[in-house]
Every structure is written in structure tokens, then in C-alpha cells.
Structure 1
Amino acid sequence: MMNGYLVCKDASLSLLCGKDGSTEKFLDEVINSYLCLLRITMEVFSTHFIAKIKNDGVESVDRWYQKADIFSMQYLLVPVHDYGLHWALLVVSLKECKMMYYDSQKGNDGLIYCELLKDYLSRQSILRRKEVIDWTTWNIITVMTLIVGFKYRLRK
């Protein structure tokens, strides 16, 4: 960090990018690694989680988090690679009964992903706790803008 900037060398930044060298797209492995650092009071889901549910159904991810006590967590973070174009984030606050979809590029309708996650949580609640989630008490919010305060400067 120098004068409020995160300083990255070209070589370091290129490790975060795809094979084409584009600095606009981060590899999913980088996103997954960073999210692992946040696993203190929250469960951070894989970047492939929502896509797997969307493509193969909610049953296809039953075993992915079977050892995690997801219903005791304060937050659930679910990254979404919106049609492979950009990243968005679903944040679930179980204690507040709130689901928020953050999309910085005003991409796809986040309610689609919220519904997929509701299906997963409903199924897991029945399987694990033998309880039905009353979704009528929940706030489902799509936040279509997100101000990111991250700035970097390339240094050779």
C-alpha cells in the first residue's frame, strides 16, 4: 500500500487474470481463494454453486456443504458469475431474514438467482432441521449499483 493505493507489479497482476491477460476479468480461483479468508462468521459458497443449481437442479449440490452448519452462520455469501459476463454477490442474513443481490453492472435480474438460493435453503432446512422456511417474512432486495473503493496502480 502506498499513498492509499494498492501497488501491484505487472507480473503480479497478470497472475490474477485469465490467459488472455485481460485485467478486467478475475479468475474464479482467485475469487474462491479470497472468499476463503472471510469464513469466520459466515459461510462462503463456491463460485460454481449457483451455476450448478441452475444447470443440474438443487439436488445436485446437496453434499457440497453437508458438513457446514449453514443455519448457524450470521451470513451466507454466494458469488454469482452472471452468464459468465461479470460477478455479482448474493448475501443472506439468516438472523435478519434478508437476502440481498448486489450487481455493480446492472446485469441480469437478480431475482432469478435469489429464487435458486431460496430453493436450496428451503430444501436444506427440511433435510437438516425438519423446518419449513416462511419466505413471506423475508426481505429480498436487489441492489443494482455497488460502489467499489478499490484502486490500484501498476508499477513496473
Structure 2
Amino acid sequence: MLRFFRWYCKPDLIEDIEGDLLANFHRTLRQEGPAKAKRKLAIQIILLFRPGIIRIFNLSGFQDHFKLIQHFVISWRRIKSNLTFSLINIGGLGVGMAIAMLIGLWVWDELSFNKSFTNYTELAQLYQNRTFDGQTGTYKIVPQPMSRD
């Protein structure tokens, strides 16, 4: 029963009230025996279950979980009612995210060019545009050394 009391009682009141409950329990134990002492302790703990002593329980996690489930239910119903529109939107979102990731990979590759060398800030990569039979192509070229290093 004391575990139940510690669970519902405000933390700043537990020590004082529990001390009084245990003092009454030990006095009843000496005078009337263990069975009656346990019964009186249980009755006292139940009678202490009132608004001034009950701790405030944080239910925000439960409420957030409930809200999240409700949002998913409503979203699923709207997707089912407008299936074609939803598939176009979801497909477009997926393609857009994939393209954004590919562009990010390309930028990362360009920025990490030759970082393995100690003087990578002085290195450059050259491209050359050439036209053959009306088609233009871009090629990497290897120039003559541009510095003595």
C-alpha cells in the first residue's frame, strides 16, 4: 500500500505524511497486532486520496500520441478520397526529393575535389568544350603544369 501512496502523493509531502502513517502503523502493530495494523494503514492511505495530496500527472505524451494517431487517420481518409491527386502529389514530392539529393551529392563531389593534396586550394580542374560534327561535348583536359610545385 505504501507504493500506491508514493505513486499518487505529491513528492514534497511524501516524507512527512509517510512518517506519520508509519508511526501510526507501528503503534497499532504493538497494541492490536499485524492484521489490524495493515488494515488500518490501508484505510488511512485510501482516505488520504484527495485533491490536495494527489500529484499532477503529466499526460502530454498520451495526448500527443492521440493527436498523432488522429492526424494519420484523417490523412489516410483524404488520400483515399482523392487517390489520383494524392498519387500525383506524393510522386512529385518523391521525385523532387530525389533530385535535391542528387544535386547535393554533385555539389559535395565538386567541393571535395582533390582535398587529399596538401595544396588543394591552389589546384584547379579544367574543362574544354569541343564541337564535332555539330555536337558539342565537354571534356576534362590535362594542361601543362601551371606552377613549379
Category of TM-score, reference length = shorter chain: under 0.3
Whose radius of gyration is greater, 1 or 2? 2
RCO greater where, 1 or 2, for CA within 8 Å and sep 6 or more?
1
Q: Using structure 1 for the length normalisation, give the TM-score.
A: 0.20
Higher helix fraction: Structure 1 or Structure 2?
A: 2
Q: Using structure 2 for the length normalisation, give the TM-score.
A: 0.20
